[in-house]
């Protein structure tokens, strides 16, 4: 079966990388006029090599120290590296630097070519080869084949081809990946076609007619055409170089460092939480230059383990970036000094979009560490823990926890049944939470209501504003969802808009109980002329405050019915007059009844008849048309 892999060159300037690729493929990767004029590689160049079953996309990178950013852009997505060392020069600074960068980028396969063998003696060659062996000891190239070549004599070229095939065979079969991602390395406009971008497909596959999100900008564009090695194709997939023509994409909206991805999966962020290995001493709050895929940007380094990270030490850190980056869990990244001259460290992305952390935030820092683990369910649980009250959506786990979309449902269900995440519908959307977050919110809610019950001993139910203080820490929709959950579990009791803690009943003093009984009797005896609260307070010789609390309690018990803000009716007196009014309305037909007629019917006064009629309108018993009441919708 044919396999698509990417081979990247590496090595010091003038060591013969471009010449060797030309000798292997016939393609000159130095395509820029300036490259031709100066005879050096400035930007990455591309070639194709078909060997055996392997279709290799070749990325030839510049060796000059000033163009390390271009080397890094080219190295994104490389499957195997060809490290080139010139026999006359031997190991030079960028030989070391490129090797270090390949290691940081986790390139795992490769081979070594010693070039310009026509220029040196056999002894010299032996020495160079020994130096190279020493250089690569302990790296992924420790056991790599070393091939002696010359493009002048043609020495070693056949051997090199065979060695490349052997290395390709060792690159284990890799899953294509379920979703598409490509770092853009070039952009150009093709007359009559519009904007075309190129890059190495990192993961997944995509076809003509499908749409991709452009990040960090965020637009979604349809693929109008695809090319591979200058030939139109229907699809491209992981391990291929691809040129993508996107419909309606303005040239100026896109640049090297943008990413194309399956829509709705990646959210760019300015805060990258990372696991970092120091290559030079790293200080807290140090300004740095970050390279991620083909993207780069300025950031401030915040160390989360200690104020300093010594060379070779591994630690957790956050990169507080000036501009958002489209990073994904486990993406390798390189950290260089702020002027981009020296490599300071390398690592991988653990989390994106988290707020900035401090060293003393021990719990989130531990969760961050757990995001580094191999087990996807472990990572989802850690992600939910880090998200706190914000919760996570299932699709978020794809980019942020490295979970395959096809495995999401099973994983979420298993985590849920193990009690490691908790699912809630918040504002109509499914979200997953750390159970601890929800349980402590539940306890807070119950506690606030219990406290409020203690403050208002006569109240059976309480308004939701009791929970107002929670909205500082929790989204209002989440509080609502957790209240619903408590109601569903029977731990809170709902009565219309009011809530009560199950099992808490009003605690009345002896006097209050007596007053309550007197209030209820007074209202029942008052018939259709119930008292106003201040009058009641006076007759019963009870403070007005207590009267209104107890009237509220009577309302909550359903004994009194509020007619308006000041007027209450005993339920025993209300039902008969509702029936009476309904009967008389039915008899009156379209003529209706005036307020005066209703007043006389109930043998009361206008003072009561007007609010009663308005109450009847509200509950739908009557309907006001001009000066008369007609039968309402719910007679
Ligand atoms: N004699 C000799 N010269 C070589 C060989 N390979 C490359 N060169 C020369 O070395 C110089 C740098 O080569 P180039 O491929 O541009 O180096 P790069 O910077 O690593 O891409 C050019 O002048 C080449 O002609 C070789 O095998 N033998
Ligand atoms: Mg070159």
Q: Transcribe 25-58 into DSSP letters.
A: HS-----SHHHHHHTS--S-EEEEEEETTEEEEE
In angstroms, the CA 269 to CA 161 distance is 42
* Catalytic hit among 4, 12, 18, 552: 18
| Ligand found nearest the CA of 32 | 2
Q: Which residues contact 366 (CB under 8 A, 6 or more apart)?
A: none
CA of 44 to the centre of ligand 1 (A): 16
Closest residue to atom 28 of ligand 1, CA basis: 116
In angstroms, the CA 164 to CA 55 distance is 11
**Beta strands 429-433; 343-352: pairing state:** unpaired
Ligand 1 proximity of 114 Cβ (cutoff 6 Å): no
Q: How far apart are the first and last CA of the chain?
A: 79
**Which token pair is 580?**
């009476």
Ligand 1 proximity of 41 Cβ (cutoff 6 Å): yes
| Ligand found nearest the CA of 12 | 1
Most informative mutation of 8, 10, 14, 36 for ligand 1 (most atoms within 8 A of CB): 14
| Ligand found nearest the CA of 82 | 1
| Ligand found nearest the CA of 19 | 1
Closest residue to atom 13 of ligand 1, CA basis: 16
Closest residue to atom 8 of ligand 1, CA basis: 16
344: alpha, beta or left, given left = phi > 0 and alpha = psi -120 to 50?
A: alpha
In angstroms, the CA 313 to CA 323 distance is 27
CA of 15 to the centre of ligand 1 (A): 6
In angstroms, the CA 274 to CA 308 distance is 15
Our CA dihedral for 296, 298, 300, 303, rounded to 10 degrees, sits at 20
Burial 277-296 (b: 16+ CB within 10 A, else e): bbbeebebebebbbbbbbbb
Ligand 1 proximity of 632 Cβ (cutoff 6 Å): no
pLDDT of residue 634: 63
Closest residue to atom 19 of ligand 1, CA basis: 14
Ligand 1 proximity of 119 Cβ (cutoff 6 Å): yes
Residue closest to 180 by CA, chosen among 221, 143, 122, 139: 221
Ligand 1 proximity of 19 Cβ (cutoff 6 Å): yes
Residues forming beta bridges with residue 278, ordered by sequence position:
345
* Catalytic hit among 4, 9, 14, 149: 14
Active-site residue, 17 included: yes
Distances (CA, A) of 515 to 140, 191, 262, 521, 610: 87, 90, 69, 10, 29
Ligand 1 proximity of 17 Cβ (cutoff 6 Å): yes
Ligand 1 proximity of 160 Cβ (cutoff 6 Å): no
Residue closest to 63 by CA, chosen among 90, 92, 89: 92
Q: Packing angle between helix 93-104 and helix 122-136, nearest 10 degrees?
A: 30
Angle at 15 between CA 185 and CA 347, to 5 degrees: 45
CA of 16 to the centre of ligand 1 (A): 4
Active-site residue, 41 included: no
Residue closest to 497 by CA, chosen among 453, 455, 556, 441: 556
In angstroms, the CA 512 to CA 142 distance is 88
**Which token pair is 307?**
């104020």
Ligand 1 proximity of 156 Cβ (cutoff 6 Å): no
Closest residue to atom 6 of ligand 1, CA basis: 16
* DSSP SS3 for 100: helix
Residues forming beta bridges with residue 234, ordered by sequence position:
none
Closest residue to atom 4 of ligand 1, CA basis: 116
Indicate the helix (H) or strand (E) that contains 445.
Answer: helix 435-455
In angstroms, the CA 536 to CA 522 distance is 8
Of the CA atoms within 13 Å of residue 317, those in its CB half-sphere come to 34
* DSSP SS3 for 419: coil
pLDDT of residue 51: 95
Q: Packing angle between helix 510-526 and helix 533-540, nearest 10 degrees?
A: 120
Identify the residue whose tokens are 């209706």: 592
In angstroms, the CA 300 to CA 315 distance is 16
In angstroms, the CA 245 to CA 456 distance is 69
pLDDT of residue 499: 86
Closest residue to atom 12 of ligand 1, CA basis: 14
| Ligand found nearest the CA of 15 | 1
pLDDT of residue 615: 94
| Ligand found nearest the CA of 61 | 2
pLDDT of residue 496: 81
* Catalytic hit among 64, 229, 284, 361: 64
* Catalytic hit among 15, 17, 116, 461: 17
Closest residue to atom 26 of ligand 1, CA basis: 116
How much is the pTM? 0.79
Active-site residue, 18 included: yes
CA of 86 to the centre of ligand 1 (A): 8
Active-site residue, 14 included: yes
Most informative mutation of 8, 16, 27 for ligand 1 (most atoms within 8 A of CB): 16
Ligand 1 proximity of 92 Cβ (cutoff 6 Å): no
Ligand 1 proximity of 150 Cβ (cutoff 6 Å): yes
What residue ranges in 16-139 does DSSP mark as E strands? 45-51, 54-60, 80-86, 109-115
* Mean pLDDT of each 10-residue bin along the chain, 635 residues long: 92 97 94 86 92 94 90 91 98 96 95 98 97 97 98 97 96 87 94 93 96 95 95 95 96 95 96 96 96 96 93 95 96 95 95 84 88 91 94 93 93 94 93 95 93 78 86 91 94 86 80 90 92 92 89 86 92 93 91 93 91 93 91 73
Ligand 1 proximity of 82 Cβ (cutoff 6 Å): no
CA of 339 to the centre of ligand 1 (A): 29
Residue closest to 112 by CA, chosen among 137, 27, 121: 137
Ligand 1 proximity of 94 Cβ (cutoff 6 Å): no
CA of 81 to the centre of ligand 2 (A): 15
pLDDT of residue 466: 86
pLDDT of residue 164: 98
């Amino acid at each position: 079966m044919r396999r698509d892999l990417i081979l990247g060159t590496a090595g010091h300037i003038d060591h013969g990388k471009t010449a060797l690729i030309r000798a292997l493929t016939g393609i000159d990767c130095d395509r820029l006029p300036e490259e031709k004029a100066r005879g050096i590689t400035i930007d990455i160049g591309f070639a194709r090599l078909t060997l055996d079953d392997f279709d290799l996309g070749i990325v030839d990178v510049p060796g000059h120290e000033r163009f390390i950013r271009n080397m890094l852009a080219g190295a994104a997505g490389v499957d195997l590296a060809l490290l080139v060392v010139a026999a006359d020069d031997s190991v030079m600074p960028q030989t070391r630097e490129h090797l270090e960068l390949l290691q940081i980028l986790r390139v795992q396969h490769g081979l070594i070519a010693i070039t310009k063998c026509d220029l040196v003696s056999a002894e010299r060659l032996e020495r160079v080869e020994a130096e190279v062996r020493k250089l690569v000891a302990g790296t992924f190239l420790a056991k790599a084949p070393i091939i002696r070549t010359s493009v002048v004599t043609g020495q070693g070229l056949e051997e090199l081809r065979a060695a490349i095939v052997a290395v390709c065979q060792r690159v284990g079969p890799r899953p294509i990946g379920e979703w598409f991602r490509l770092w853009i390395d070039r952009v150009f406009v093709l007359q009559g076609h519009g904007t075309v971008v190129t890059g190495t497909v990192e993961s997944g596959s995509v076809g003509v007619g499908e749409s991709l999100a452009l990040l960090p900008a965020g637009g979604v564009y349809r693929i109008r055409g695809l090319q591979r090695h200058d030939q139109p194709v229907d699809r491209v997939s992981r391990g291929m170089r691809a040129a993508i023509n996107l419909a309606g994409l303005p040239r100026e909206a896109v640049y090297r460092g943008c990413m194309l991805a399956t829509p709705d999966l990646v959210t760019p962020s300015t805060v990258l939480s990372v696991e970092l290995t120091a290559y030079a001493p790293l200080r807290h709050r140090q300004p740095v230059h970050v390279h991620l895929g083909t993207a780069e940007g300025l950031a401030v380094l915040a160390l989360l383990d200690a104020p300093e990270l010594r060379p070779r030490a591994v630690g957790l850190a956050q990169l507080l970036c000036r501009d958002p980056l489209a990073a994904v869990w486990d993406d390798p990244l390189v950290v260089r000094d702020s002027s981009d001259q020296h490599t300071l460290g390398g690592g991988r992305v653990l989390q994106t979009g988290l707020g900035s952390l401090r060293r003393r935030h021990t719990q989130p820092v531990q969760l961050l560490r757990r995001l580094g683990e191999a087990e996807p369910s472990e990572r989802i649980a850690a992600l939910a823990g880090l998200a706190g009250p914000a919760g996570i959506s299932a699709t978020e786990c794809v980019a942020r926890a490295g979970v395959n979309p096809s495995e999401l449902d099973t994983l979420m269900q298993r985590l849920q049944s193990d009690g490691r995440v908790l699912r809630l519908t918040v504002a109509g959307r499914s979200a997953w939470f750390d159970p601890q977050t929800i349980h402590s919110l539940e306890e807070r809610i119950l506690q606030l209501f219990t406290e409020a019950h203690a403050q208002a001993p006569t109240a059976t139910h309480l308004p939701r504003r009791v929970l107002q203080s929670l909205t500082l820490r929790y989204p209002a929709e989440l509080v609502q969802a957790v209240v619903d959950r408590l109601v569903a579990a029977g731990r809170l009791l709902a009565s219309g808009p009011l809530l009560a803690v199950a099992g808490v009943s009003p605690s009345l003093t002896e006097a209050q109980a007596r007053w309550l009984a007197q209030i209820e009797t007074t209202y029942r005896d008052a018939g259709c002329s119930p008292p106003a609260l201040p009058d009641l307070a006076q007759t019963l010789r009870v403070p007005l405050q207590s009267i209104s609390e107890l009237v509220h309690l009577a309302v909550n018990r359903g004994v009194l019915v509020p007619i308006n803000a000041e007027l209450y009716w005993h339920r025993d007196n209300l039902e008969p007059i509702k029936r009476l009014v309904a009967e008389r309305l039915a008899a009156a037909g379209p003529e209706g009844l005036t307020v005066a007629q209703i007043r006389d019917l109930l043998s009361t006064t206008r003072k009561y008849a007007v609010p009663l009629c308005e109450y009847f309108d509200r509950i739908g018993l009557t309907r006001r048309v001009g000066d008369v009441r007609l039968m309402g919708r719910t007679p």
